Amino acid sequence: MIDVLIIGSGGAGLTAALSAKDVGASVLVVGKAYPTNSQTSMAQGGINAALSNAGDDTVDAHIADTIKSARGLCDEEMVQTMCSDAPHAIAWLDSIGVPFSRVETEEIGIKTVAQRQMGGASAKRACYAQDYTGLKILHTLYDTCLKHGIDFLDEHYLMSLVVENGCVKGATFLDIRTGELKQIDAKSVIIATGGYGGLYHNYTTNMTGATGDGIAAVLRAGGAVSDMEFVQFHPTALKKSSILISESARGEGGYLVNSKNERFTDELGPRDVVARAIFEQFKQAQEVFLDVRHLGEGKLMELLPQEVALCKLHENVDPAKELIPIKPVAHYSMGGIDVNHTMEVDGIKGCFAVGECSNAKVHGANRLGGNSLLEITAFGKRAGENAFKYASSTSVQKATDAQLQQDKTYLENLYAQTPTVNFYDKREVLGKLFYEKVGIVRNNASLNEALDYINDTQEAIATMGIEDKSKTNNTNLTDFLEFANTILLSSTVVSAAIARDESRGAHYKEEFTQVDDEKFKNHIVFQWKKERA
Amino acid sequence: MTLTILRSETNSHETYTIKSTKTTLLHALTDIKETQDATLTFTAGCRASVCGTCAVRVNGKEELACAYKLQDGDVVEPLNYHPVLRDLKVDKNKAKETLLQSTAWLHSATEASPTPKDEKFTERQTDCILCDSCYSACPVYAVNPEFLGPFALTRAYRYSVDKREKGVKEILDSVQSNGVWDCTLCGECTLACPKGIDPKMDIMMLRGLSVQEGYNDPSYATQSFGSPNFDFDPNF
């Protein structure tokens, strides 16, 4: 039996795989696509570590900035662990060959790594590799996994965790190519399946597959999820396509203007504040644009070539001559699978979670730029080590195939069902509804409308289903399974948002614009079994 | 606007009409799947040219569906030299094995002091998103399916010139057979790359490093240039 089964092959999963293998575990990494296709590739800005390569910095300052940004909702011990681990994480990434940007220096090793300023940081702390930090870390991790002979199983879609008596015993997967369902037994499981930005379909910078599959699986298996109401919105995405225009466009001197060509906010404020200022303009029937024309074509092509190309392609706009229409969209999910200090899932023994899918409580109500790549590296290592520790100290009996049979029946019914409602339409509607009613600025009336809609959709799901009845390579099927996951998670996001009658970080409620520590300095947790009991 | 797609189940081209103009190919494919034909199968991810999932061929040329602006009458087909799983969805496993064979990773790392100049030297090579466009464009695969191919060799080159690498010879050893000498230097890979990488140049550089390491172009050993007779003439 495999010691450590890792579900998800982004940066968190690959780091966990390498660390588990390093301590002697047998490892299998299973993903719904190929390893380098993951969301990690989209991270641009950097990875935080107090290295003092570009001015003075300390681990304590990194900790303080992270806690401040979390607005009282983080676990300070976890923050301390992550920030103290950061220099080691960079040293490790450097040792496996990550092509970081560098500074001119006589020094060696991590002292040569270039660092830059990110929002909310008191020092130049983000190590980067041009504007492709996530991409280059991800690909180097993948190369290193090949070096160490890590086994991969690609194009396998997670159906369910196999849990017996509160202990994880593996997971079931749909082999997307063959259409077969299979159970993979394991002594321990690490979930590294990414966030739930996909809930905001068409209104998120995330890839379409960011549907929180692992989070939904944990919820169904009796584990806990927490802080689901905290979703970070990025102020500048292209209006039509929701493609991210990097913060560096404003960092380099870009303005935000409305339809009257007036500036209305400090462009370099925290993400949640700028996003709300833009939303306020929308409410006054203003459009909002990013204006970088004054930088000139030469400078634009030198500083922001990717951004210029994306604007021309997706918005048919030339940033050197025209205003860029933008809107804030969902960017990062702070909430997720509730884990303890060893990264073990609350409610499922032997099951660990790491990365955006998890809530290790380091981001709290608002994530600091550059801390998510750090989280996947620092905590990925811990998850790998702790999973193997668990696997070696526990005698796990092979599970029955009850879960597999249950999943088989579910799929057979799905194939037999003739849909009368197109779920793709519902996915569009849900994305828009979430953006408008569970978005940047919330109020209880709108949230309750959203909850009603979700409940109706949940009931109507029996009328939806798959039109494509092919057994093999059925992406209509995986799209539907992903959609079902977003429906499940959407009710936790809305319910938590309704319960939180205050404003804190990314969660802003019109009727309660202040932080209310007395009532709400705590985490809202959902767990099916506990609710039933 | 019309769009023609090679469908695998019938092995024939099917033409779709879409309303929107000025759209990306990925947007059009998604629109068809959602509103016209749920069986149309393709893969995609980030929509922003970094995840490497959505490469296809449009009118015979490799393109990322998310970064290609659709033209009326375009013909869309799956990547070459990849087993087609369904419609535009292909099996990339064999292509990915070239990374394993070329041992494109840091073999024995040492702490070094890379400079900004070193960073720039392989910046482009490390922009690779493993979309497999170059693999699809490479004509060597028509005759040698075991060729290591452009992206794996570019990656091998990137590690072989990394200042932290002390095991350069091991990388070079791995790229001799079905590797650097099998490339015809036609440059199709360079034209196909959506990230502006130049695998042809990287392969030439790898050849140079290989020669320094004592390797020769094996074709010289087998090629016949006729048999010039330089027999020693004692009377000369």
- Regarding an ipTM greater than 0.85, the answer is yes
Query: Quick check: A278 and A286 in contact, CB under 8 A?
Result: no
Q: Looking at residue B234, what is its pLDDT?
A: 54
Where in chain B do CATH 1.10.1060.10 domains reside?
93-221
Of B53, B113, B158, the CB nearest to A107: B113
Query: Quick check: B188 and B194 in contact, CB under 8 A?
Result: no
Q: Are residues A135 and B50, on separate chains, in Cβ contact within 8 Å?
A: yes
Query: Among A289, A220, A222, which residue's Cα sits nearest to residue A254?
Result: A289
| Tens digits of residue pLDDT in B116-128 | 999 999 999 999 9
Q: Looking at residue B20, what is its pLDDT?
A: 81
Q: Looking at residue A258, what is its pLDDT?
A: 97
Where in chain B do CATH 3.10.20.30 domains reside?
2-90
Question: Taking residues A101-113, what's their average pLDDT?
Answer: 95
What is the distance in angstroms between the Cα of B157 and the nearest Cα belonging to chain A? Answer: 13
* H helix runs in A45-158, sequence order: 59-69, 76-96, 133-147
Q: Looking at residue B227, what is its pLDDT?
A: 53
Confidence of residue A36 (pLDDT cuts 50, 70, 90): very high
Q: Looking at residue A247, what is its pLDDT?
A: 82
Tell me: pLDDT of B236 over 60: no
Confidence of residue B228 (pLDDT cuts 50, 70, 90): low
Question: Taking residues A422-429, what's their average pLDDT?
Answer: 96
Residues of B in contact with A41 (CB under 8 A): 46, 50-52, 129
Question: Taking residues B50-74, what's their average pLDDT?
Answer: 97
Q: Looking at residue A333, what is its pLDDT?
A: 97
Q: Using CA atoms, how far apart are residues A175 and B29, in angstroms rounded to an integer? A: 23
Query: Quick check: A30 and A214 in contact, CB under 8 A?
Result: no
What pTM did the predictor assign?
0.96
Q: Looking at residue A530, what is its pLDDT?
A: 46
Which residues numbered 323-382 in A keep a CB inside 8 Å of some CB on B? none
Tell me: pLDDT of B94 over 70: yes
What is the distance in angstroms between the Cα of B29 and the nearest Cα belonging to chain A? Answer: 13
**Known catalytic residue: A263?**
no
Torsion angle defined by CA atoms of residues A231, A232, A233 and A235, in that order, rounded to the nearest 10 degrees: 170
Q: Looking at residue A378, what is its pLDDT?
A: 98
What is the distance in angstroms between the Cα of A465 and the nearest Cα belonging to chain B? Answer: 11
Q: Using CA atoms, how far apart are residues A355 and A337, in angstroms rounded to an integer? A: 10
Half-sphere exposure in the Cβ direction for B39 (13 Å, CA): 14
Q: What is the largest CA-CA distance in chain A?
A: 69
Q: Using CA atoms, how far apart are residues A383 and A391, in angstroms rounded to an integer? A: 12
**Among chain B residues, CA nearest to A35:** B51
Query: Quick check: B183 and B200 in contact, CB under 8 A?
Result: yes
Which residues numbered 387-406 in A keep a CB inside 8 Å of some CB on B? none
In the CATH scheme, what architecture does the domain B2-90 have?
A: Roll (3.10)
Which residues numbered 63-102 in A keep a CB inside 8 Å of some CB on B? 94-97, 99-102
Q: What angle do CA A469, A471, A474 make, to 5 degrees?
A: 75
Terminal Cα distance for chain B, rounded: 80
Which residues numbered 127-166 in B keep a CB inside 8 Å of some CB on A? 127-130, 155, 158-159, 162, 164-165
A420 touches chain B (CB under 8 A): no
Tell me: pLDDT of A531 over 90: no
Confidence of residue B226 (pLDDT cuts 50, 70, 90): low
Tell me: pLDDT of B225 over 60: no
Q: Which domains does chain A have, with CATH numbers?
A: 1-40+139-230+334-533 (3.50.50.60), 233-329 (3.90.700.10)
| C-alpha distances out from residue B191 to A275, B136, B137, B187, B197, Å | 40, 12, 9, 7, 9
| Tens digits of residue pLDDT in A192-239 | 999 999 999 999 999 999 999 999 999 999 999 999 999 999 999 999
| Tens digits of residue pLDDT in B198-212 | 999 999 999 999 999
Q: Looking at residue A270, what is its pLDDT?
A: 81
For β-strands A358-359 and A336-338, DSSP reports them as parallel
Q: Using CA atoms, how far apart are residues B10 and B193, in angstroms rounded to an integer? A: 30
Kind plus residue range of the DSSP H or E element containing B12: strand B12-17
Tell me: pLDDT of A300 over 70: yes
Question: Taking residues A274-281, what's their average pLDDT?
Answer: 95
Q: Looking at residue A409, what is its pLDDT?
A: 98
Residues of A in contact with B89 (CB under 8 A): 473, 475
Confidence of residue A511 (pLDDT cuts 50, 70, 90): very high
User: Can you tell me whether residue A268 is helix, strand or coil?
Assistant: coil
The pair of structure tokens assigned to A24 is 């002697």
Query: Quick check: B90 and B102 in contact, CB under 8 A?
Result: no
| Tens digits of residue pLDDT in B6-19 | 999 999 999 999 98
**Among chain A residues, CA nearest to B107:** A147
Of A33, A104, A424, the CB nearest to B116: A104
In percent, the amount of chain A with pLDDT more than 70 equals 99
Size of interface A-B (CB pairs under 8 A): 150
The pair of structure tokens assigned to A389 is 């520790």
Neighbours of B176 (CB within 10 A): 17
Q: Using CA atoms, how far apart are residues A65 and A261, in angstroms rounded to an integer? A: 34
In the CATH scheme, what architecture does the domain B93-221 have?
A: Orthogonal Bundle (1.10)
| Tens digits of residue pLDDT in A387-407 | 999 999 988 789 999 999 999
Q: Give, as one character, the DSSP assignment of residue B143.
A: T
Confidence of residue A309 (pLDDT cuts 50, 70, 90): confident
Beta-strand ranges (E) seen in A266-306 are 288-291
The pair of structure tokens assigned to A153 is 């199983």
Q: Which of A250, A271, A276, A442 is catalytic?
A: A271
Q: Hey, what long-range contacts does A299-307 have (CB within 8 A, 24 or more apart)? A: A299/A252, A303/A248, A303/A252, A304/A246, A304/A248, A304/A249, A304/A252, A306/A131, A306/A246, A307/A245, A307/A246, A307/A249
Question: Taking residues A419-439, what's their average pLDDT?
Answer: 96
